[in-house]
Amino acid sequence: MLTFSEFLQSRKKPAILEQASYDVLLHQIAKCGQEISLQLRRSGFLQLGQAVGIANVQSEEVLALDLIANNMLINEIEQSGAALGIASEEMEDIHVYSAEASEEEKFVVLFDPLDGSSNIEVLAPVGTIFSIYAVPKGEALTLKHFLQAGREVIGAGYILYGSSTMLVYAEKGHVNGFTLDVDGIFKLSHENIQTPKTAHTFSVNQASYHRWPEAFKKFVDWCGSIDNKKVFSQRYIGSMVADFHRNLIKGGIFLYPPTTETPKGRLRLMYECIPLSFIQHQAGGLSTDMVQSILDIEPKELHQRTSVAIGSYDLIQKLLSM
Ligand code: AHM
Ligand code: MG
């Protein structure tokens, strides 16, 4: 079994990733995943799911492990020497490590340190989601390096803390999954992941059905229609990264439609939707905000929200035809 490290050494990588420090950056993120996974195994003792009494930029309650994971990622990514800065779902502004132009290619990392963190106290899966973009050599870091469209992503992934912990990592043309073994090392367990083209699972919070645009209502009605030759299952954990992972492996579609209260959608473009869409596209699936692919949206702000549908090719096409 290839370790994550051996896999990185053996993969065919684009010229831009030739410099060794990019892989060090990935190792540092994986290291955070190992540490967060350990902490989660003991969350009941550590009260990691408790609120720390502050709200983040999204006006959401910050939990203890949100903060721990966020700080860990900031520090470990800096250690790699490969990143000029980071942006986090938990922080209002970018965090700059170095504002000076570099003589070699550098990177920025955007992350949701702990997606679905309200699930911690009920022991349901949560995850760390990240994407990495290049800062060309000779350019000093600015906000524009963070606000790049999803099609510019160099690498994206997530670490899912479920019944096992798995790191799923994608670059253009390939997606691979690495299970965290009992010796604390990520090892290749899911080689070259391709998502099924057709599937019969949909994931959505249906409580908002009456506040959705017509196309989403029609699609979900079609899934459950008695005339439908296939019987669909609805599966929704309330942790996007976990719902996404199930659908990636088994096929399915994840929906977070706009509602009358949140007409621009609720999930975050930069920290959740772009990285997961990038992975989905490399695995043969699709994503959309019902106007364009999520990867073609030109981001305007760090904490931009979007509606999203991500999943198997046939199901996205069906949704778009509604
Ligand atoms: P978070 O990043 O603050 O944890 O919030 C995002 C989560 C997604 O993972 C999940 O799909 C969604 O919020 C659940 O929202 P809802 O309870 O509206 O269905
Ligand atoms: Mg999140």
What whole-number percentage of the chain has pLDDT above 90? 81
Residue ranges near ligand 2 (ion) with Cβ within 5 Å = 112, 115
Q: Which residue would you say has higher pLDDT here, 120 or 308?
A: 308
Which whole number is the average pLDDT over 206-217?
97
Q: Which ligand 1 atom is at minimum distance from the Cα of 243?
A: 11
pLDDT band, residue 174 (cuts 50/70/90): very high
Tens digits of residue pLDDT in 142-169:
999 999 999 999 999 999 999 999 999 9
Q: Which ligand lies nearest the alpha carbon of 272?
A: 2
Residue 129 has pLDDT above 80, yes or no: yes
For 85-108, letters b (16+ CB in 10 Å) and e give: bbbbbbbeebbebeeeebeebbbb
pLDDT band, residue 304 (cuts 50/70/90): very high
**Residue among 256, 269, 273 whose CB has most ligand 1 atoms within 8 A, to mutate:** 256
3-state secondary structure (DSSP) of residue 177: strand
pLDDT band, residue 229 (cuts 50/70/90): confident
Q: From ligand 2's centre to the CA of 167, what distance in Å? A: 17
Residue 179 has pLDDT above 70, yes or no: yes
How many angstroms separate the CA atoms of 258 and 275, rounded? 20
Domain covering 4-190 assigned CATH 3.30.540.10 in the classification: yes
**Residue among 203, 205, 243 whose CB has most ligand 1 atoms within 8 A, to mutate:** 205
Q: Which ligand 1 atom is at minimum distance from the Cα of 60?
A: 3
pLDDT band, residue 49 (cuts 50/70/90): low
205 lines ligand 1 (CB under 6 A): yes
Question: So what's the pLDDT on residue 16?
Answer: 81
CATH topology identical between 4-190 and 201-320: no
Domain covering 201-320 assigned CATH 3.40.190.80 in the classification: yes
Is the CB of residue 311 less than 8 Å from the CB of residue 305?
no
Question: So what's the pLDDT on residue 25?
Answer: 96
Question: So what's the pLDDT on residue 13?
Answer: 85
Alpha carbon nearest to ligand 1 atom 14, residue: 238
Amino acid at 16: I
Residue 48 has pLDDT above 70, yes or no: no
Alpha carbon nearest to ligand 1 atom 16, residue: 238
